[in-house]
Structure 1
Amino acid sequence: MQQRELGWDDAWESTWAAAATDHLIPARITRIDKGGLSVDGAGVSFGRQLIVANKEARDAVVGDWCGLNPDAARIEVRLPRRSVLERRSPGADRDDLALSAKAVAANLDHLLVLQPLDTGVNPARLVRELVIAWESGARPAVVLTKSDQVDATQLAAARSAAAEAAPGVDVVAVSNLTGSGLDELRPLLAPGVTVALLGASGAGKSSLVNALAGRRVALTGNVRESDLRGRHTTVTGQLLALSGGGLLIDTPGIRGVGLWQAWDGLALAFPEVTSAARSCRFEDCAHQGEDGCAAETAVSTERLEQYRSLADELTRLDEQLEVRSRDRQRETNQRARRKAQRRRPRG
């Protein structure tokens, strides 16, 4: 593919010019798995795997633009990201030392948040996913999948529940089997525009990828009848070229949705709380019974409880990170003192 087809534009050209990349070729990462990285835009056929192994490649994700040294088959520069989808690393809840962010995809324009209708809309998970989506810098849309498995009344109720959990966000119901609703997503897949999917295993991500691409490009699997939970059919991230010129990033299903320093995303996911908070008596109002709290009268109880819960989670994360930062600084100071003592002359 040509660079423009991969989303390259004048702004990327300016970034590239400022990155001291005279001896490199701009390329976009299209796939990451255990075998290495695949890139395109550097004279490499789309999807052909190119192994690169150096420090600059370690934190690369699908969608990143990089500077590739084709002679050495090495990524030497990763361009600054315009947007990045990231979440709290798995296992961080059990080990404070593992507190870190896990990037999933980069340089997105739109993010489709999937909710399967066979199990019904899960508002608690949806609002968490929307916080992550807004924080990424991409524009989210909610996609209700498997609409062929519910009747008109159930579909209307699901749309209403999703719209309530996602104010200001488009809600589209689709069926990968019948093709219903897919045309509503086509405008988001304009040439050079990058769209990613976010959803739990079994939400129909891989099937939607195939439907939008018009061909089989991703593995699909059955949902377990015992608990209606999906199997991980996507095990790696990949960027796919669609026939209409759009670009689609398919990501592995995420069982847990761990938030990571997402205060901006929280504000955007709860615009009614953000708006009402401007009229609160105190600037640091927590909306938990304070005198003069405007949010408690302007926002529904359910939405305010969701906001409080997520805000509390982000606050605890900030506190954990602060403790870890102090501990690490203390360890650094102690090592410096021990080193200075060893160098001190005896006598």
Structure 2
Amino acid sequence: MELVPMSIAAIVSGSDIGAVRSVDSSRSNAAASPCTAVTSWSVSPLPNRVVTGSGSLRVRGSIVSPMEMITHPPAWDDEWTRVWSAERSNDRLQPARVVRIDKGGIQVAHEPGDDHHVVAAKAVRRVVVGDVVGVDVDAGRIETILDRRTVFERRSPGVQRDELRLDARALAANMDHVLVLQPLDGGVNPARLCRELVLAWQSGATPIVVLTKADLADPAIVAEQRARAELHAPGVPVVTISTRAGTGLESLRRTVGGEDDTTPRVLALLGASGAGKSTLANSLAGRAVALTAEVRDHDRRGRHTTTAGQMIELDASTWLIDTPGIRGVGLWASDDGLESAFVDLVPFAQDCRFDDCTHRHEPGCALIAAVDSGAVPTERLDLWRQLADEIDDLEADLEVRDRAVGREENQRARRRAARRGIPQDPGETGDQL
């Protein structure tokens, strides 16, 4: 009997709300919101195949349940198979990859290369593009989120330090490389480059710096800017490309894939609006997969052409996560990322007289001595100080938030006790903090 995978497109109904249960216990502080359950189905059956009301597939008189169909989501490998076998909670669940999130909902792919294998539901903040999830295909609902190998996240924008909403905002998950884009038409921006490298390293993925729009700059300027990028990206590959001229793309592919063209890999794009992310995605895919727009002439800033995160298949083994351009990139829990991005300063810092040296005014600071001798550029130390200060401020903000959360929880506990007529000892409520 010949079996053909089922094609499913789910229509969102706002009447049923079901919670998304995450197995990513290491990130329990991340914001979560409910996921709308899918209560009505729109199915495009294949010839001679009928989808039953239970979601099973009838093929030439036989009934095949969804779990009897073997699915391999995009960028699936043996390790995902092992994790899925260990985490799968019931036989109704099928593995899937989140391939698109926008205002219309969440789309997941059960198999690569088939756009019909998607489930749409209202956006859930906890789910991001690249997540590997367990989907109950009968209910049309995401039930689990598998532990993320890597996750790119930043501080939630526009949130003050004393607000309970202060938290991380994840943008992409389970990528192997982060392509950090810097356009050459405006020159390399060291401050932004270092900031994005901190976030890329902190994600757990491997960063690659991509200098775009090389055709818009004089060759001498390109060489100068490349040297500038290499200075601020120690140990990170730097690739110069021009999508218009078609140069540098093969070098980028080799840098990403190495000698192995068959191992599944996922790339994520990071860069400001106008950095050329969508154009690069189209060039790597060899087809139009993302909208593009010209940058503004007066300030060289781009327009937001990518308004939804999406995962794009480039070839049989490579996928690309294209995220909306972001102008503000706030750091989040970035101590390890800071050290990796400034690995060139580490040997000097280890020779400081004091273990808790802040590298500002302490006697015996080897890093300041290295700057004075010219071994370390002053700009490198200045950028490190700026980012280190931001991380320190974030830690202080989180302490303020945690105290506010504690007060809020105590107040709720008192209200619950009052409703039950239970006397409260003011000293136990924490209101005197």
Are 1:63 and 1:108, in contact at CA under 8 Å, matched by a contact in 2? yes
Are 1:39 and 1:46, in contact at CA under 8 Å, matched by a contact in 2? no
Deviates more, 1:264-273 or 1:328-337: 328-337
Are 2:100 and 2:309, in contact at CA under 8 Å, matched by a contact in 1? yes
Are 2:164 and 2:404, in contact at CA under 8 Å, matched by a contact in 1? no
Query: How far apart, in 1, do the equivalents of 2:151 and 2:127 lie?
Result: 11
What amino acid maps onto 1:331 in structure 2?
E
**What residue number does 1:325 align with?**
402
Query: How far apart, in 1, do the equivalents of 2:73 and 2:251 lie?
Result: 22
Label 1:290 to 1:3 Cα distance change in 2 as closer, same or farther (>3 A).
farther
Query: How far apart, in 1, do the equivalents of 2:117 and 2:187 lie?
Result: 39
Label 1:334 to 1:243 Cα distance change in 2 as closer, same or farther (>3 A).
closer
Q: Any unmatched runs of 5+ in structure 1?
A: none
Bigger Rg, which one: 2
Task: Tell me, yes or no, if structure 1 residue 9 matches structure 2 residue 86.
Answer: no
What amino acid maps onto 1:123 in structure 2?
P
Deviation for aligned residue 1:276: 2.0
Are 1:96 and 1:320, in contact at CA under 8 Å, matched by a contact in 2? no
Query: How far apart, in 2, do the equivalents of 1:152 and 1:5 lie?
Result: 43
**What residue number does 1:227 align with?**
299
**What residue number does 1:316 align with?**
393
Task: Spell out, residue by residue over 1:24-48, the C-alpha distance to the aligned partner (whole angstroms, 9 max, x if none).
Answer: 1111011111111111125992365
Query: How far apart, in 1, do the equivalents of 2:194 and 2:234 lie?
Result: 10
Deviation for aligned residue 1:52: 2.9
Query: How far apart, in 1, do the equivalents of 2:200 and 2:116 lie?
Result: 27
Matched-pair identity in %: 54
Give the 4+ runs in structure 1 shifted more than 3 A. Answer: 1-5, 93-98, 337-342
What amino acid maps onto 2:343 in structure 1?
P
What amino acid maps onto 1:344 in structure 2?
I
In the alignment, which of 207, 226, 229 is matched to residue 159 of structure 1? 226
Are 1:219 and 1:234, in contact at CA under 8 Å, matched by a contact in 2? yes
Query: How far apart, in 2, do the equivalents of 1:24 and 1:44 lie?
Result: 21
Q: Any unmatched runs of 5+ in structure 2?
A: 6-69, 371-375, 424-433
**What residue number does 2:384 align with?**
307
Query: How far apart, in 2, do the equivalents of 1:288 and 1:43 lie?
Result: 52
**What residue number does 2:373 align with?**
none
Query: How far apart, in 2, do the equivalents of 1:95 and 1:328 lie?
Result: 9
Where is the helix percentage greater, Structure 1 or Structure 2? 1
SS at match of 2:172: strand
Normalising by the residue count of structure 1, what TM-score does the alignment of the two structures yield?
A: 0.93
Label 1:3 to 1:165 Cα distance change in 2 as closer, same or farther (>3 A).
farther
Query: How far apart, in 1, do the equivalents of 2:199 and 2:418 lie?
Result: 47
Task: Tell me, yes or no, if structure 1 residue 183 matches structure 2 residue 250.
Answer: yes
SS at match of 1:27: strand
Query: How far apart, in 1, do the equivalents of 2:220 and 2:125 lie?
Result: 49
What amino acid maps onto 1:166 in structure 2?
A
Query: How far apart, in 1, do the equivalents of 2:242 and 2:161 lie?
Result: 38
Label 1:285 to 1:335 Cα distance change in 2 as closer, same or farther (>3 A).
same
What amino acid maps onto 1:37 in structure 2?
I
Label 1:74 to 1:200 Cα distance change in 2 as closer, same or farther (>3 A).
same
Structure-to-structure mapping, 1:217-296, within 5 angstroms: 217-243=289-315, 245-296=317-368
Deviates more, 1:206-215 or 1:224-233: 224-233
Normalising by the residue count of structure 2, what TM-score does the alignment of the two structures yield?
A: 0.75
